[in-house]
Structure 1
Amino acid sequence: MSSSYDLLPCGAYVTVNYTRHYIHCVDTTAHTTIIGTSSRTVLKQTFENTGPSNIDELRYLFPLYDGVSVVAFRCTVGDRVIEGVVEERAKAKATYEAAKKAGETAGLMEQSLSAADTFTTLIGNVPKGCKVFVDITYLGELEHDAEVDGIRFTIPIQIASRYGSGQDGSWTKASNVHGSNFSVTVDVEMPTGSAITRVQSPSHPIAVSIGHTSKDPEANQTFQRATATLSLGTSSLEADFVLNIVATNLGEPSALLETHPTINNHRALMTTLVPKFSLPAQTPEIVFICDRSGSMIDTITDLISALKIFLKSLPVGVEFNICSFGTNFSFLWPTSQTYSQATLDEATEHISRFTANMGGTEMYQPIEEAFKRRYHDLNLEVFVLTDGNIWDQDELFAMMSKHVDNSKGAIRVFGLGVGSDVSTSLVHGIARAGGGIAQFVNNNEKMDKKVVRMLRAALFPHVTDYRLDIDYPKCQRCGDDFELVEKPGAPKSEDLIDKPTISLFQKDLKEEDPHSPPTTSTKPLPDVQPPRNIQVPGIIPPLFPFSRTNVYMLLSNACPHVMPKSVFLRGTCSAGPLELEIPITVLDDKATTIHQLAARTEMKELEEGRGWVATAKVGNQTIKAKYPSQYDDIVEREGVRIGTTFHVSGKWCSFVAVEKRNDGDKNMTDLPPDYEEVVNVFQSSGQVLPLAASIPQTYSLPRTGAGQPPRGGGQLSMNTMSDGANTAHCSAPLRTMMLFEGNWRWTLALEEVLGIKAGAAKAAAPGHADDVVATACAVAYFKTKLMKNKEAWELIVEKAEGWLAAQGEDVAALEKAVQALF
């Protein structure tokens, strides 16, 4: 696989004699509306052809956050406005080329075949002196940020065009980049019963107003609304724009049923799963796979910091190993070693020498080698720490999925993206293929809580049989209970039906014509019908406490009069059966948001080798086993069907926009409903749309009642940028001094951190061993002085209390005895 050094700089350009000449970006604006935990962004960019001649084709390369659903594409060239429609990829390309050849204005937007978060827009026939306006609208699920316990929204670094020389030095810088404008506005609206407590950015200084949105600044002030703005005098950002929103009551599970406005009786269900339960922790094998390629030079310190937190928080009894990779890879030990003071010291010394000196970013082999070296009598938890930007990501994901499937769920892989220009499709793809979770840490951003949360997830027992059951009322018209899931029916294969027998001896066949001419048409694909109800993802991934997961259901139009009542999430583990019932809220207004989020998620499943096609059977065979030579085409056909039906682009279908002709055959289409409709839908329901892109910045409010306006009725505003990692985390010195078993010993450094002398502590708890008292004091210090950062040290304290209990101590009584010292 290619390394991150092969990635191309983003921007709009024309190619002349194999050299890229970048076009001036006059203006970039992004307006995002966040409703609960979903987002809708309208990205507007203006380019200008200041050259002396017309441009035959303008290309624009840019990234979007992994998993977003691009639902609208519009180009304005001069006074001509063209709207995009979704077509099969090759057909869209042909439509675009035909229009361009005819001298018409045309536009095409395609997803990269190698990286799902990279897109290319082509604009054909741009007159000299003309401005080009490109509008792209996309939906996204906002993901959970464990560091702030909130939602994270990200605009990738190179949406604001970056210009510079490439690997071969042949690309020219645009001379008039400076002076261009970049602005971001994010309006946040929370449902009834939820109040915004913080809006922050770890990446940029922002202006925050609590109480209203930019769309309606005169509305009554309420803590359900907020606006964050960023305005820069350049179109080149130096880091991803990241916004964190913390609000009350976002951790509740929910289920929303939406009816499509144009597809007759078609409904989509979105279930947000936020498990809150505890099970006994496991002691697995844990392998850390660390990116030490040259591109990590600015982030290797953050990687080392994350590893130190991981290592100190490991529980006694696990096996662990560390792998470094770049162009090549190496493991600290041939096989994982038992966690002990000696192995902890060796590992700590090893990572302290880490530098970004291992060349390119080749992660396929080290991840596969970690799978091959694992202990087969233990579950394996793999952490991939990388800033990696690689092409051919599907190849990596396919390998990971194969090993995870073959292990019957014994392997899980977690992704931690480190740095300001991480490929979101890579890190999220690693987590999807590996059944883990993904988190991101920007340069100099605090990470303690999210690292501990990821480790806690890895120690959570494996549950591999989650399923969703929908509870329907009895359907009198149908005479039976409504059926939830149907397997696809047998294909209507006509391969051998009513075909004439071919004689093996044909008297009229001439010697010079020994065979028939080749057929001019390809073999038709078998008619494999999709199931009436499609669950997305088809196999519910592992769920982790306090981490949101969305599961969708695209429901058929059968029995539309029957409204489901609730959803049951069920599973089993060694501790017993698991169950959660979630009531379903039926949305009053018809809309497309849930349908399009579900459609894009299903397309991602298909693109990465999963989805219903991968598991469905024809007779007693899987589709792949029955039609191996046509399987990839069947999968692509289903991806195209989903994309064109729900107006969502992806790997196999693109947006194409050409001028409307007099005969009306091209190219206006019904656009998705205005987002105001979606706002009304989710505000009236009092429910929340879950998941998306996340990270920190902090703005705190006094805790009044949910939705109450600030006193005096005035808006609350401020310029804010979070302290990030510059805020020294008080738990770090204590964590460093802790021994591998979870205990502390009296030293001058420990006395200095705790602010007490060993003699005073021993007097408060007489009759106990010195290290027992030291450990009890450290635990008491965490609990009394550092409660605000509990999530960052809770595994440390659990480990320490376990050590105290193993010494035969009454832990609660001992902690109470020393608490008065703090």
Structure 2
Amino acid sequence: MDYCGLLTDTKKQVPLKSIEVELEVRDHVATVVSTLNYENKEDKPLEAVFVFPLPGDAAVCHFSAQIGQTQLVAVVKEKQKAHEEYDDVLSSGQQAFLLKESEQSPDIFTLSVGSLPPGESASLRLEYVTELAVQADEGLRFCLPAVLNPRYQPQGSEGASVQVTSVPASLVPYSLSFSVRVSSPRPVSKVESSSSLEPLQYVNTEQTQATVKLAAGHKFDRDVELLIYYKDAHQPTAVVEAGQASAEPGSLMGDPVVMLSLYPEFPQSVMSSLASCGEFVLLLDRSGSMGCPKSDIKQTENRIASAKDTLMLLLKSLPMGCYFNIYSFGSSFQHIFPKSVEYSEKSLEEALKIVEAMQADLGGTEILNPLTHIFSQRCIPNQPRQLFVFTDGDVCNTKEVINLVKKNSDFHRCFSFGIGEGASSALINGLAKEGGGHAQFITGTDKMQPKVMQSLRYALQPTLVDISVTWDLPPGVSVTVLSQPITALYQGRRSLIYAQITGQSSEAAEGCVTVKYSLAGHPSQSQLRFPLKPAEDVGLTVHRLGARTLIRSLETEESEHRGQQDEGVKGMVVELSVQSGVSSSFTAFIAVNKGNSEPIKGPVVCRYVPIPKYTHPIGGKLLGGGNMDCQQYDDLPEDLLACKKGASSQAKSGGFFPGIKKNFQAVGKPKKSSLGMRAAPHQAPRQDGMSSSMYDSTYSSLGENDCTLSIQPPRDPLLQLVSLQKASGCWLLDPDLAAVLGKTSEEVENTKPPLVNQAVWATILALIWLHGFKMDAKEEWELLAMKAVSWLRAQNAPSKCVEAGNTLLGCNVQKDALGL
């Protein structure tokens, strides 16, 4: 297969040889140093272009190049000026290097290596700092992105998408080495990863410092995810970092900067009573790539199936008295109800039937339109809106989507879930941050259900109002807060505040920050005292993260004024970016080799360096002699997988599928959409530049086989049990329940104590089974069990039922453990 721009005209590999990554984690902040080694093996000068992902909240703060004995350190300049200088230098036959952030999404960077002479090697060093997100199990998550899925370009959106060249992992011509050093005031208990690691090595006896490496032989074909666990992780902390000696006092880089990590603790009496109201709006991605497995590990459930199971569990766990609706989207969007409806047995059953029929058959990833429609719906009085977004998506209009969520943040909370390798961290984290919710990533063999239930617990926590932050500082000392105001607080979730400290104080002076809020009508507060004396030898990490925070805030403000040309805000971003050396969407890093007096001869040839793509065989067969990237499905029409028999000459010759030449395998059969309808291919003209005949050729190129992208494992008995629960929280005594319990209907019915209601008996058996056999998954079923217990209390269930249930199921679950 020909991959445009991956190989030279002599079939030699592109010039990126290897990537070396060093990660240093201090408490919950990471510094990442990546070294990219290039070598031009051709007989002509090369310009290599490498488009790659970084964490969406990373602050890129250093870029340099080593060519032979020459060391070049890049400087930050306004993007247009940097571009012009780069082009001028290449035109004169000199060397230059350009690193820039995408204007559409802050998690995509482009590195241009200009005029690398034949036989020459270059080593490029890239450094960034980032905060580590706290997971539901108290682990800190770091992700080294490897997969950059092609960003879906919504119809009618402005701006050209970034050119991304992706290949199967076996064809990626460069290697990866990855080493980690962890240090913290608290002991490091363990480090886990989705990839194979060498054993953790402790550096000191206190176990507060440790090192670990990626195991040899790792293929850089998936994101490298690390989970770092400390003992007593959720402790409020403050780090005061000294300013840069060479910077002007009073400037951001010249003054000390403090980073506060706050973990508010709410009264247990309030937290024990979860909310019984709310409008829950669930938004599910049904683009083509959702039909792919979550990972390339054998027997891995595909994304849409896992999402459907999760929706079922989430729906069963909702409290009586709330409202809900479910939207699904691709190139278009659908909703189950015209507007949110009250949660009842009837509405729940209707929703579950439609969810069960959903497939990954809606084409692209146009998330902006359904969000716009959701926000246009009037809120229900006394029912706080909670938005749950499930997507594996990568879109070009990330900032536009996030800005829409921010604009409506006063009227809802947004909880986001990134599914599978390569989901955009900028999109997932941005939705949650601007929506006052929480972000989760589901990769590799991760189960989606426990992470979603953690977010549901956050959503059911009482809403905090009147949140304010006040500072108590010595005379002559003031602060300038760099972070945006805190809009949401959750039990056990970290909130970060960055602030610039101006003025002089004694070495023993202390500062105090107080977070005040109202919880369930009761005023409360959390306090943290901290020394104002800067810590020693901590570098400028906190300054750079603070600068990044302020830059992102200003960029958001500038984008909200698009069309009015707010040059003032843009100028502030450029000035701050140049001053701090931190990247922005309006600046770029540029390094020029001015010492190379001999011009490089010959025309410069451009080569695009590939990144690995997430691949999976379709129906057990490879399309066109190779794997087809699952993300390519996002560019296909609705109901692509629900196609007619036959094959057109256009499809056989490759049609509009890039890289697929011949023998397009039959992989689909007709299926209805979730609403029982399917639009005819000729129903309306397409809006994306493809003729209807091209879509017809696609439909007719697919045959009658089932379009399953992976072998589905047997359904989990826990999910089977959950599917049988009623909206009220009870179970009914029927053969399906008996089968899950591992008993016959006769055994279950004959052991029921006399005069006991059948539903009461069935519900107690279900609870005993959960406590007796599924305690390892308690976080998944805890909320629906609480609903079942509430129902049982209302029925005055006799205690003898628990004894009889234990006898039948062979368990020893105490009545108190059930909550009765």
- 1:512-531 mapped onto 2 (5 Å cutoff): none
Change (3 A) 1:374 1:161: closer
Q: Which amino acid in 2 is paired with 1:543?
A: L
Verify the 8 A CA contact 1:293 1:360 in the aligned structure 2.
yes
1:650-698 CA-partner distances (Å, limit 9, x unpaired): 11222121236699xxxxxxxxxxxxxxxxxxxxxxxxxxxxxxxxxxx
Q: How does 1:283-302 map to 2 (within 5 A)?
A: 283-298=277-292, 299-302=303-306
Sequence identity percentage:
27
Q: CA deviation at 1:727?
A: 11
Q: Cα offset for 1:53?
A: 0.8
2:129 is the alignment partner of 1:139: yes
Q: Report the alpha carbon displacement of residue 314 of structure 1 after superposing the two structures with TM.
A: 1.3
Q: 1:358 to 1:178 in 2, by over 3 A?
A: closer
**Pairs within 5 Å for 1:640-651:** 640-651=574-585
Instruction: From the superposition, tell whether residues 562 and 814 of structure 1 become closer, same or farther in structure 2 (CA, over 3 Å).
Output: farther
Q: Find the counterpart in structure 1 of residue 111 from structure 2.
A: 121
Taking the aligned partners of 1:174 and 1:815, their CA distance within structure 2 comes to: 55
2:402–2:431 CA contact under 8 A, matched in 1? yes
Aligned to 1:238: 221
- Inter-partner Cα distance in structure 1 for 2:74 and 2:434: 32
Q: What does residue range 31-70 of structure 1 map to in structure 2 within 5 Å?
A: 31-55=22-46, 57-70=47-60
Quote the residue 2:721 is aligned against: 734
The residue identity in structure 1 corresponding to 2:777 is: N
Q: Once superposed, what is the RMSD of the aligned Cα atoms?
A: 3.8
1:337 corresponds in structure 2 to: 341
Q: Which residue of 2 aligns with 1:252?
A: 235
Per the alignment, in what secondary structure is the counterpart of residue 74 of structure 1?
A: strand
1:394 maps to a residue whose letter is K
Q: 2:18 aligns with which of 14, 17, 27?
A: 27
> Counterpart of 1:687?
none
Secondary structure in 1 aligned to 2:307?
Answer: helix
1:307 has 2:311 as partner:
yes
Change (3 A) 1:560 1:730: farther
1:534 aligns to what? 481
CA contact (8 A) 1:640 1:653 kept: yes
- Provide the C-alpha distance between the structure 2 equivalents of 1:425 and 1:765, rounded to a whole number of angstroms: 56
Q: CA deviation at 1:564?
A: 3.6
Mapped pair 1:268 → 2:268: no
Give the deviation of 1:230 after TM superposition: 3.5
- Structure-2 residue corresponding to 1:415: 416
Structure-2 separation of matches of 1:392 and 1:103:
36
Choose from 305, 328, 331 the match for 1:327: 331
Of structures 1 and 2, the one scoring higher in RCO (CA 8 A, sep 6+) is 1
Matches of 1:169 and 1:535 in 2, distance apart? 34
d(CA) in 1 for partners of 2:4, 2:534: 40
* Partner amino acid, structure 2, of 1:222: Q
SS for the counterpart of 1:269 is strand
Higher mean Cα deviation, 130-139 or 439-448?
Answer: 439-448
1:225 is aligned to: 210
Alignment of 1:443-462 (within 5 A): 443-462=444-463
State the one-letter code of the partner of 2:217.
Answer: L
Letter in 2 for 1:804: L
CA-CA distance at 1:178 after TM superposition: 5.9
Q: 1:414-493, aligned counterparts within 5 Å?
A: 414-473=415-474, 475=475, 478=476, 482-484=477-479
How far off its partner does 1:794 sit? 1.8
The unaligned stretches of length 5 or more in structure 1 are 1-8, 213-218, 485-532, 615-623, 664-724
Match for residue 503 of structure 1?
Answer: none
Counterpart residue number, 1:550:
496
User: Shift in Å at residue 115 of structure 1?
Assistant: 1.1
Q: Deviations over 1:53-110 (max 9, x none)?
A: 112x332211101101111111123432211122222333344334334433221110
- Tell me the alpha carbon deviations over residues 717-751 of structure 1, each in whole angstroms, 9 at most, x when there is no partner: xxxxxxxx989866433322222111122334434
Q: CA deviation at 1:424?
A: 1.0
SS at the partner of 2:351?
helix
CA distance in 2, matches of 1:534, 1:88: 25
CA contact (8 A) 1:182 1:232 kept: no
Distance 1:59 1:364 in 2: 30
CA offsets 1:238-277 (integer angstroms, 9 cap, x no match): 3211122233211122222222232446111111122332
Tell me by how many angstroms 1:752 deviates.
5.0
C-alpha change, 1:284 and 1:644, in structure 2 (3 Å) is: same
**In 1, Cα distance between the equivalents of 2:25 and 2:505?**
33
CA distance in 2, matches of 1:756, 1:47: 64
Q: Deviations over 1:696-726 (max 9, x none)?
A: xxxxxxxxxxxxxxxxxxxxxxxxxxxxx98
- Tell me, in whole angstroms, the C-alpha distance in 1 between the residues paired with 2:493 and 2:5: 35
Match of 1:188, SS state, is strand
Residues 661 and 448 (structure 1), Cα distance of their counterparts in 2 relative to 1, 3 Å cut = same
SS at match of 1:605: helix
Deviations 1:422-459 (A, max 9, x none): 11111112112222211111254212221101111222
| Shift of residue 632, structure 1, vs aligned partner | 2.1
1:211-239 alpha-carbon deviations (Å, 9 max, x no partner) = 34xxxxxx5583752414143365xx332
**Do structure 1's residue 392 and structure 2's residue 397 form an aligned pair?**
yes
* C-alpha distance in structure 2 between counterparts of 1:167 and 1:638, whole Å: 26
Q: 1:726 to 1:341 in 2, by over 3 A?
A: same
Contact residue 23 and residue 174 of structure 1 kept, 8 A: no
- Distance change >3 Å, CA 169–CA 780, structure 1 → 2: closer
1:387-421 deviation per Cα after TM superposition (whole angstroms, max 9, x unaligned): 111112222222222223xxxx2312221111112
Shift of 1:384: 1.3
The TM-score normalised by the length of structure 1 is 0.73
Structure 2 residue 274 is the aligned partner of structure 1 residue 281: yes
Deviation at 1:25, TM superposition (A): 2.3
How far has the Cα of 1:368 moved from its partner? 0.9
Which residue, 545, 548, 552 being the options, matches 1:604? 552
Correspondent of 2:363 among 354, 359, 363: 359
Note closer, same or farther for the CA distance 1:87–1:817 as it changes in structure 2 (3 Å cut). Answer: farther
Q: Do the aligned partners of 2:481 and 2:497 also contact (CA within 8 Å) in 1? A: no
TM-aligned CA deviation for residue 802 of structure 1? 1.7
Contact residue 156 and residue 240 of structure 1 kept, 8 A: yes
What one-letter code is carried by the residue in structure 2 that aligns with 1:151?
A: L
Query: Bigger CA drift: 323-332 or 309-318?
Result: 309-318
* Matched residue SS, 2:457: helix
For residue 100 of structure 1, the aligned residue among 75, 90, 94 is 90
Secondary structure at the counterpart of residue 276 of structure 1: coil
Deviates more, 1:629-638 or 1:347-356: 629-638
Quote the Cα distance in structure 1 between the aligned partners of 2:95 and 2:577.
Answer: 24
Structure 2: distance between partners of 1:726 and 1:768: 37
Matched residue, 2:737: 750
Contact persistence 2:574–2:586 (CA under 8 A): yes
Q: TM-score, normalised by structure 2?
A: 0.73
| Matching of residue 568 in structure 1 with residue 514 in structure 2 | yes
The SS at the match of 2:359 is coil
Q: 1:783 to 1:563 in 2, by over 3 A?
A: farther
* Mapping 1:136-175, distance limit 5 Å: 136-146=126-136, 148-158=137-147
SS of 2:490's partner is coil
Tell me which residue corresponds to 1:201. 193
Aligned length: 660
Q: Please give the alpha-carbon distance, in whole angstroms, between the structure 1 residues aligned to 2:569 and 2:803.
A: 62
Unaligned runs of 5+ in 2: 152-159, 293-302, 598-711, 814-820
Whether the 8 Å CA contact 1:761–1:777 is kept in 2: the answer is no
1:807–1:174 CA distance, 2 compared to 1 (3 A): closer
Tell me by how many angstroms 1:575 deviates: 2.6
Q: CA deviation at 1:318?
A: 1.4
Question: SS state of the match for residue 119, structure 2?
Answer: coil
- Separation in structure 2 between the aligned mates of residue 448 and residue 326 of structure 1, nearest angstrom: 23
- Call closer, same or farther: CA 1:199–1:607 in 2, change over 3 Å: same
| Distance (Å, rounded) in 2 between the aligned partners of 1:575 and 1:639 | 40
Q: Which residue of the partner structure matches residue 680 of structure 1?
A: none
